Amino acid sequence: MSEMETNSNGTPKMTGKDIASDQEVRWCPGCGDYSILKQVQTVVAETGVAKEDIVFVSGIGCSSRFPYYMDTYGMHGIHGRAPAIASGLKAARPDISLWMVTGDGDALSIGGNHIIHLLRRNFDLNILLFNNEIYGLTKGQYSPTSPEGQVTKSTPMGSIDHPFNPLALFLGADASFVARTMDRDPKQLRDVLQRADAHKGASMIEIYQNCNVFNDGAFFTYTDKKTKAESALFLEHGKPLIFDEGKKGIRLVDMHTEVVELGEDFNENDLWIHDENDRLKAGILTRFFDDPSAGFPRPFGIFYIEDRPTYEDKLTGQVERAKELKGEGDLDALLSGGQTWVHQ
Amino acid sequence: MSETITDNTTKGVKHEEKRAVVILFAGDSGDGIQLTGSQFTETNALFGNDVSTFPNFPAEIRAPLGTMAGVSGFQLHFGSVEIFTPGDECDVLVVMNAAALKANISQLKRGATIIANKGGFDKKNLKLAEYIDDDNPLTNGSLDKYRLIQIDVSMLTRNALEDTGLGMKEKDRSKNMFVLGFLYWMYNRKLDSSIQFLNQKFGKKPEVLEANLKVLKAGYNYGDTSETFTSRYEVKPAVMPPGTYRSAMGNQATAIGLIAATQKAGLGLFYGSYPITPASDILHELSRHKNFGVKTFQAEDEIAAICSAIGASYGGGLGITASSGPGIALKGEAMGLAVMLEIPLVIVNVQRGGPSTGLPTKTEQADLWQAMFGRNGEAPMPIVSASSPKDCFYAAYEAVRIAVEHMTPVLLLTDGYIANGAEPWRYPKANELKPIKPPFAKGKNSEGAYLPYRRDEKGVRDWAIPGMKELQHRIGGLEKQNETGNVSYDPANHELMVNLRAEKIDKIADHIPPLVVESGVEEGDLLILGWGSTQGVIKNAVLELNEEGQKVGHAHLRYLFPFQRNLGELMGRYKKVLIPEMNSGQLRQLIRAEYLVDAHGLSKIKGVPFTANEIKEKAWELLEA
């Protein structure tokens, strides 16, 4: 056996293949999930965390099959409840590296209540929300992110549901890390995953994922060569908001945003400089949510990062504090309680 | 029960000795009735009486003052003899207002004593209590068959606090202490324990503390000096098994049992819970014991509460959740997941009146079928029940033991009656508690990949938790292949797994003690079979039936699923079986289905416990038939 290469912490160096399980991947051929799986496997392998110290938790839906394909610990939970399972697991085991995989139906419809509470409490975990704007596993009903008017199996006359703006919702729930990326942009996907893993707190990543069977092309505007430049805005901390191959930028004047042509009237110095620690501006960015043809491009990248204590650290802190104040629990003292009396 | 044993007279005051007394405190829910009752209980328990209590709350925290809807009650049965229940009828009724009298007058024994706060029977109170034409029961002769003691507690309390700077409202808040002080005089009890309690409770509010102490003593002295009271009573210490005792409330005992069991198992306790009556006190109690490493988590809803507990158990702690019927209904799907995952989990149901929101503050045993069948698919789960406040400790301990040693979710059933009731408890020492051994994986169990669903002779799988090297595996709610745990849709495998999960639960019956006849005859004419909080009242009835010469026995089930192996044989020793339940006959149907025994039922679905007489009447009916 040859000497294994090791990380600085002594764990064996791994590649994405080392962390893939022996199970056959069973998503539809051509599904965007494959690309996400590959990037996640690569990033997780590179974190240097030992396989046995990693847990993937999921709910129900196509994306929630994810844990079966990772040679880590994993739990395929029940519909919508992955955030709650993850919360208890992290509270009990702050030491593990925790990843949660969910979808637009799982996280935003049946699990909508749990996702907001997971975020406000700020457990330290990485949340991958595969958004394909459709229910795939149940074969094609509209989801809470499907646009109004979408014709699906359950909306033959078009959906009349106003969709969620997921990132605005997450910011509203005080998420400490909010990002958006896409299955078809592996490089940015990898960068965002790495940043998310490095962030201590609940890292919420919305991943636009193409369902080639029930909702093919939902995000082609942002991936197709013809429209991508005009429609997608890639955020970088400290850099101006520029899109359309450098031709356009976004200006912020008195809390009012506008798209400007770069050239004679405006240059980079006039533009909004992205600050991923600015909550207010992150809020405005999440509102770039209309059809890009209406003017504003859809932003991708990290919208917001905030350092605040995690729930599990505060919980552990209280346990430690209680031990300081009262001493390590004494079972006999607990059993006898305060007042006792004796019968001879 | 309250027969007078001796009496003698000194200084014009008669001293009567009583074996046992049932006293009911009643007043507005804001009158401090529960505190008065629990203080009087504590003092009597410390004195050495056996005690049993039954607090009876209105559903509203602050219902309209003076109305029937707002009446809160606290019933205490204490004595120099063994006490099994809070008592059927009352010897003494203490009422703070007219509504409290009206609501409870039917609970009195003939010749009982009524102690009434005269100040609570003014025109306004009479109207609120809907006495016709404001006819005052204290003066119209309607209470002549009782011994009526009228005290203007409101006025006397205000007088006692005349020279304090307190406002009228604050002064009136202490009037429960006057009553308590007076009762301490009446029953020859010392004030020490309550003085100590008040010092602890109001130590940071010196004016309030002083007022309460003043009024407490004023109440005592009023009895001593007013010369209007001709009788004092003596209830001697009970003869109880020797040992050191404490007082235990059901929910508190449940919490202590959960902590003790996880400590003995060497597991971290994670408690995920959503507030609900009458289970919330378990959360309150557990959250006070973080120095045992207890982690409490108030989840966003009932589903999150159980799912977080499942997550904690997956991580190698013991996940616990508690609720009452409506909350348990919400947890159904997650219980099924835990059955499928085969991980330890304890779900406590402090039952209350149902269906739906039902009677949140009243008691019932109507969630047995929910516990048995309330999940989709075939999802068998062991069910353990508690039979009295102190028994909640042992039931909780046993629930944890089964969950951990048999790798399964377990339902623990208690109910509102015992959850809020109290009794003396000869508590165990930590080293007397049975050890609990978690079946943690000791390494790989096969040549190839780790097999998470390989079983031992009990049908139990290993507990491999994150952090254990080379044991990474994936589990979930989808049907899994035997041993490997991989997703499987194979028809034969599904049937095999359904059977294996059922067998595992059935085998628990090989690891629990046999059922015993706990009182009465070992074989004979009638077995009264009970479960849960009816234990005390059935025992009471059976002992009386035995005294009356009847061949009646009492057995009480802690294990509702699986049943103890000798249950069928034990029932066969009696000509008839009677199952009293605070539901329409849920255990009865399970027994009939399992054993083809023609068990008779006795149902009470009124939100209040059985009386011994109700059970005796039914027993007589069967014995004479």
344 residues of chain A, pLDDT tens digit each: 445 688 888 888 899 999 999 999 999 999 999 999 999 999 999 999 999 999 999 999 999 999 999 999 999 999 999 999 999 999 999 999 999 999 999 999 999 999 999 999 999 999 999 999 999 999 999 999 999 999 999 999 999 999 999 999 999 999 999 999 999 999 999 999 999 999 999 999 999 999 999 999 999 999 999 999 999 999 999 999 999 999 999 999 988 999 999 999 999 999 999 999 999 999 999 999 998 888 899 999 999 999 999 999 999 999 999 999 999 999 999 999 978 999 98
- Note whether B498 and B537 are same-domain residues: no
- Note whether B485 and B611 are same-domain residues: no
Domain boundary among B193, B208, B234: B234
The encoded tokens of residue A251 equal 């200006």
pLDDT of residue B1: 43
> Are B315 and A92 an interchain contact pair (Cβ–Cβ within 8 Å)?
yes
Could you give the CA distance from residue A284 to residue B198 in angstroms, rounded to a whole number? Answer: 56
Residue B576 is assigned to a structural domain of this protein: yes
- Ramachandran quadrant class, B19 (left: phi over 0; alpha: psi -120 to 50; beta: rest): alpha
Task: Tell me which of A39-53, A124-138, B122-136, B541-555 is least confident.
Answer: B122-136
**Reduced 3-state DSSP string for B458-476:** CCCECECCCCCCCCCCEEE
Contact by Cβ (8 Å): B91, B106: no
What SS3 state is found at A208?
strand
Could you give the CA distance from residue A237 to residue A153 in angstroms, rounded to a whole number? Answer: 41
Of B409, B332, B321, the closest CA to residue B377 belongs to B332
- Note whether B293 and B200 are same-domain residues: no
- Note whether B315 and B396 are same-domain residues: yes
What SS3 state is found at A170?
helix
Quote the Cα angle for B278-B282-B286, to 5°.
160
Residue A150 is assigned to a structural domain of this protein: yes
> Are B237 and A343 an interchain contact pair (Cβ–Cβ within 8 Å)?
yes
Give yes or no for B486 touching A (CB within 8 A): yes
Q: What is the pLDDT of residues B331-383, one digit of tens each?
A: 999 999 999 999 999 999 999 999 999 999 999 999 999 999 999 999 999 99
3-state helix, strand, coil in chain A (%, to 5): 35, 25, 40
Residue A253 is assigned to a structural domain of this protein: no
- Note whether B298 and B184 are same-domain residues: no
Q: Which domain holds residue A92?
A: 16-218
Q: Is the pLDDT of residue B2 over 60?
A: no
Contacts with B192 (C-beta within 8 Å, 6 or more apart), sequence order: none
Q: What is the CATH number of the domain that holds B618?
A: 3.40.50.920
Could you give the number of structural domains in chain B?
4
Contact by Cβ (8 Å): A188, A162: no
Phi, psi of B460 (to 5 degrees): -100, 135
Residue A292 is assigned to a structural domain of this protein: no
- Note whether B365 and B261 are same-domain residues: yes
- Note whether B407 and B467 are same-domain residues: no
Looking at the partner chain, which of A74, A75, A92 has a beta carbon nearest the beta carbon of B270?
A92
Interface of B with A in 39-58 (CB under 8 A): 42, 45-48
User: What per-residue string of b and e applies to A116-146 under the rule 16 or more CB within 10 Å gives b?
Assistant: bbbbebbbbbbbbbbbbbbbbbeeebbbbbb
- Note whether B616 and B543 are same-domain residues: yes
Q: What is the pLDDT of residues B161-183, one digit of tens each?
A: 998 888 988 899 999 999 999 99
Contact by Cβ (8 Å): B545, B528: no
- Note whether B172 and B74 are same-domain residues: yes
Q: Which domain holds residue B401?
A: 246-432
Q: What is the CATH number of the domain that holds A145?
A: 3.40.50.970
**Which residue does chain B place closest to A70, by CA atoms?**
B474
Integer CA distances (angstroms), A329 to A204, B284, B320, B401, in order:
37, 17, 19, 20
Of B573, B572, B518, B564, the closest CA to residue B542 belongs to B518
pLDDT of residue B225: 87
Mean pLDDT, range B83-106, rounded to an integer: 95
Residue A237 is assigned to a structural domain of this protein: no
pLDDT of residue A2: 47
Integer CA distances (angstroms), B200 to B2, B51, B195, B196, in order:
34, 24, 9, 6
Q: Is the pLDDT of residue B9 over 70?
A: no
Q: Is the pLDDT of residue B4 over 70?
A: no
Distance (Å) from the alpha carbon of B529 to chain A's nearest alpha carbon: 30
Residue B299 is assigned to a structural domain of this protein: yes
Q: How many CA atoms lie within 13 A of B41 on its CB side?
A: 29
pLDDT of residue B165: 84
Could you give the CA distance from residue B212 to residue B282 in angstroms, rounded to a whole number? Answer: 29
Phi, psi of A274 (to 5 degrees): -70, 130
Contact by Cβ (8 Å): B432, B397: no
- Note whether B200 and B89 are same-domain residues: yes
Could you give the CA distance from residue B62 to residue B52 in angstroms, rounded to a whole number? Answer: 26
Residue B239 is assigned to a structural domain of this protein: no
Domain boundary among B480, B512, B544: B512
Could you give the number of structural domains in chain A?
1
Residue A92 is assigned to a structural domain of this protein: yes
* CA A131 to chain centroid: 10
Mean pLDDT, range B424-435, rounded to an integer: 97
> Are B307 and A84 an interchain contact pair (Cβ–Cβ within 8 Å)?
yes
Interface of B with A in 384-443 (CB under 8 A): 426-430
Residue B372 is assigned to a structural domain of this protein: yes
Q: What is the DSSP string of B386-416?
A: --STTHHHHHHHHHHHHHHHTTSEEEEEEEH
Mean pLDDT, range B576-600, rounded to an integer: 98
Query: In the predicted model, what is the mean pLDDT of chain B?
Result: 95
Domain boundary among B484, B512, B540: B512
Residue A342 is assigned to a structural domain of this protein: no
Q: What is the CATH number of the domain that holds B125?
A: 3.40.920.10
pLDDT of residue B230: 76
- Note whether B400 and B469 are same-domain residues: no
